[in-house]
Every structure is written in C-alpha cells, then in structure tokens.
Chains A and B, each alone.
Chain A
Amino acid sequence: MTVSRFRTIIYIVAAIVSLAGLADATYLSVQALTGETLGCGGSPDCFRVLGSPYARIGGIPVALFGLLAYFSAFSFATFAAFGYARARIFLIPTIGAMFLGTLWLLYVQAFLLHAYCRYCLFSAATTFLLAGLVIALPPGRDRAVS
C-alpha cells in the first residue's frame, strides 16, 4: 500500500467516525433545544450532565458546538480524502480543539458533576478515535487535486 493510499483510507475512516459523532451531537442538540434535558421522562441518567450549567456556553448548548465541530471534521476529512491538500491544514487543528474540549468535558463529568452521560461518553470516544487517526497520518504533503 502506498503512503498516499494509506492517507486516503485514514481520511475516509475519519469522515465516517465524524458522521457517528455528528449523529450523536445532533441528537443531543435536539434534546437541549426541546428542553428535554431540563426534565425527567426523556433519556434517563443524563439530566445531571445535560441539565448542568456546564452544558451551556453563553446560553448556547454545548451540543450545538459539538455538532458544528463534527460537521467541520467530516467536511475537512472528506475533502482531504479527495486530495484537497489544504483540508488537512484545517482538519488537524479542528480535531485538536475537539480533543481539548473533550478533555475538559470529561473533567467536568468526573470531578465536578460526579455524573456521566452515555451520549457524552460516546462523543468522547469518537473524538479520541479521530485524534488517534490524525496521529496515525503519515507525515508529508498530500497530493494536491488536479
């Protein structure tokens, strides 16, 4: 397998993983927008996390930021898979920022709220996977699309 082909496969896998994260973030965003996170009767166990003050930044649900981040990661990974060299320049810092954000949210759940939300943990897992894929990318320039 050539380096170029391996890189393409990594980008495709990253795009697929981002889709999974996007689905998760979309669901959480809808929950936040319908107010389901502020009551019981919807998804169990998640109120303590999704209904906490940490679930919003400036009044905007964190899930919406996650949705934007996953969509961006998916878009950049898709373009990179098709050989758009600049997409990689944007993909790496996007996933880097998502990774740092995930670390913060895990800290909040573990040490501040002492509660976990399964959807947030799934999102953390997908972000860690994306970070791992980015680390696995062979160094060097992508072939520019002609």
Chain B
Amino acid sequence: MKRYLPFVIVALVALATIGSGAMLYRAKRPHVLSIPENKILSAKGDAESPHIRGNPDAPVTLEEYGDFQCPPCGMFSAFLGQLEKEYDSRLRVVFRNFPLTMHEHAREAALAAEAAGLQGRFWEMHDVLYREQETWSKAPNVRELFESYAGTIGLDVDKFKKDMDGEQVKARVEADRQRGQSLGIQLTPTLFINNQPLDPKDKNPEGIRAEINAALQKKSQT
C-alpha cells in the first residue's frame, strides 16, 4: 500500500490543481455582454452620443471603455492611432469613460476630458492625458497639470475649470460608467467591435486587427 501512496498523492494534487484552476478560470473569466439592440450607437451623433472619432458612416465601430490612469489603456491609445491610420474611413472609434476606483486620479482625468469635450476638444485632451499618463499619474497636483494641458490644447481655461466642477461632466462620466457596469465590464480597456466584446486574450495588435478584418468581411457580405 505504501508503495502506491505517492502515486495517489500526486494524482490527487494534480486533480486538485486542475479542478481549482478550472473553477478560478470560470470565476475570473470576464462575462461581458454584447451591446444590446436598444443601446447600439447610431451612425450619426446626437446630443447624448459618446465621443466618436473617424468616419461616422464607417462599417466598423471600435468602442473602448477606458480609464485614463490605466497603463494598458495608455498603451492601447498609442496603438489606436496606428489603427485609425491603417483603416482610415473603414473604422470609427468611440470612447466611454470607465474610471476604476483603484486609480486615484482616474475620475478627475475623466472629468477633465469631458470638460474639454464641452469645448469640442475631447479627443485632444484624450490624447494628451494618455501621452502624459506617466507624469500626472504620480503627481500630487493633477488638477494644475490638467489645467496646463487645457491651455496647451487651446481651451478657455477658466471655462474648463468651471466645467470640471460642474454637474454636466460628472453626469456624463457616471452615465458611461453605469452603462459599462450594466454590460458586465470590470477591466479596462474593454473593447467592443461592432457591438461584440473582444475576448481579453485577443487584446493585442494581431487579435484586434483580425477582429476588425473579420467585421469588415462580414459587413461586405451583408
């Protein structure tokens, strides 16, 4: 009996490892829903629409739920610029705020971007925030930095300051966040391509291009 006991122990540990790994995988796997029909973005923007960049009639929409203080979102932002150049009029990009509580300045950065959006410069502020992420993420005086960015991109800084504290931008950020929560979003960046959530494992240049190309092909067949 003793001769076979180590085999039994090793086999039990192997089973326990596989079992616990499978349970953990099921628990941790993101359960992000597809964007439901009544929430699909229309081709043309309206007053309540999110921030869209690119051809409004593009066949493929890439929608991002992002956090300005999230390093992977920062990396994705750099790649997004390449994607927009590659796909040009075939791709439009949508950004929605999803600031995570684990990031100290994320909400404030989202408010800054929305305040810039009220002066028609959302995407400029979006780009600056991601480009300077390393700097402001660690700074104690983020508000001053955001105000300097506002000046750099040509905003009325006094209006920007006032808007950052206003209810409109807070409501906008909160609306995006609640929408993301209703879709089961927990991580950032979470991406949707033509309303279908991108598998987190495909959140790399090759995976994203493959999904965009597949969406383009599907659109051309319909």
Contact B6 A19 (CB under 8 A): no
**Closest A residue by C-beta to B74:** A40
Query: B103 — nearest CB in chain A belongs to which residue?
Result: A40
A82 interface residue (CB < 8 Å to B): yes
- Given the known inter-chain contacts A26-B17, A41-B186, please indicate yes or no for A36 contacting B10, CB distance below 8 A: no
Point out the residues of chain B lying under 8 angstroms from A74, CB to CB. Answer: 10, 13
Does B73 sit within 8 A of A, measured CB to CB?
Answer: yes
Residues of B within 8 A of A19 (CB): 13
The interface centre, meaning the residue of A31, A33, A51 with most chain B CB atoms within 10 A of its CB, is A33
Size of interface on A: residues with Cβ below 8 Å to B: 30
Taking a contact as CB atoms under 8 Å apart, the answer to whether B6 and A30 are in contact is no
**CB atoms of B187 and A84 under 8 A apart:** no
Task: Please report which residues of chain A, range 65-83, place their CB below 8 angstroms from some CB of chain B when the two chains form the complex.
Answer: 67, 71, 74-75, 78-79, 81-82
Can you list 11 A-B pairs with a CB-CB distance of less than 8 A? Answer: A34-B29, A35-B187, A36-B187, A36-B200, A39-B200, A40-B67, A40-B103, A67-B17, A75-B10, A79-B6, A79-B10
Flag if A78 contacts B200 (CB, 8 Å): no
Having A22-B17, A40-B102, A82-B3, one finds 7 other A-B pairs with CB under 8 Å, namely: A35-B187, A35-B201, A39-B70, A39-B72, A42-B28, A42-B186, A81-B6
A79 to B100, CA, bound (A): 47
Distance in Å from the Cβ of B68 to the closest Cβ of chain A? 11
List 7 A-B pairs, minimum CB-CB distance, nearest first: A35-B200, A39-B187, A40-B70, A41-B187, A82-B6, A30-B24, A35-B201
Binary interface encoding of chain A residues 44-88 relative to chain B, with 1 for a CB under 8 A from any of its CBs, else 0: 100110010000000000000001000100110011011010000
CB distance from B54 to the nearest CB of A (A): 23
Number of A-B residue pairs at CB separation under 8 A: 88
Nearest Cβ on chain A to B150's Cβ, whole angstroms? 25
Known: A26-B17, A36-B200. A44 touches B102 (CB 8 A): yes
Q: Is B131 close to A, CB under 8 A?
A: no
Grouping DSSP codes into helix (H, G, I), strand (E, B) and loop, the A interface class, with mixed when no group exceeds half, is helix
- A106 contacts the other chain (CB 8 A): no
C-alpha gap A38/B198 in the complex (Å): 12
Complex Cα–Cα for A79 and B30 (A): 39
Determine the chain A residues whose CB is within 8 A of the CB of B56 once the complex forms.
none
Alpha-carbon separation in the docked complex, A82 to B72 (Å)? 48
Contact A41 B13 (CB under 8 A): no
Please, which residues of chain B bring their CB within 8 A of the CB of A31? 28
Chain A proximity mask over B49-88: 1 for CB below 8 Å, otherwise 0: 0000000000000000001001111000000000000000
Does chain A have a CB within 8 A of B2?
Answer: yes
User: Given the complex, which residues of B lie within 8 Å of A44, measured CB to CB?
Assistant: 102
Nearest A residue to B9, CB-CB: A78
Contact present for B204 and A38 (CB under 8 Å): yes
Q: How far is the CA of A69 from the CA of B17 in the complex (A)?
A: 13
Contact with B along A9-33 (1 / 0, CB 8 A): 0000000000100100011011101
In the complex the two chains form, what is the Cα distance from A27 to B200 in whole Å? 17
Q: Tell me the minimal C-beta distance from B213 to chain A in angstroms.
A: 20
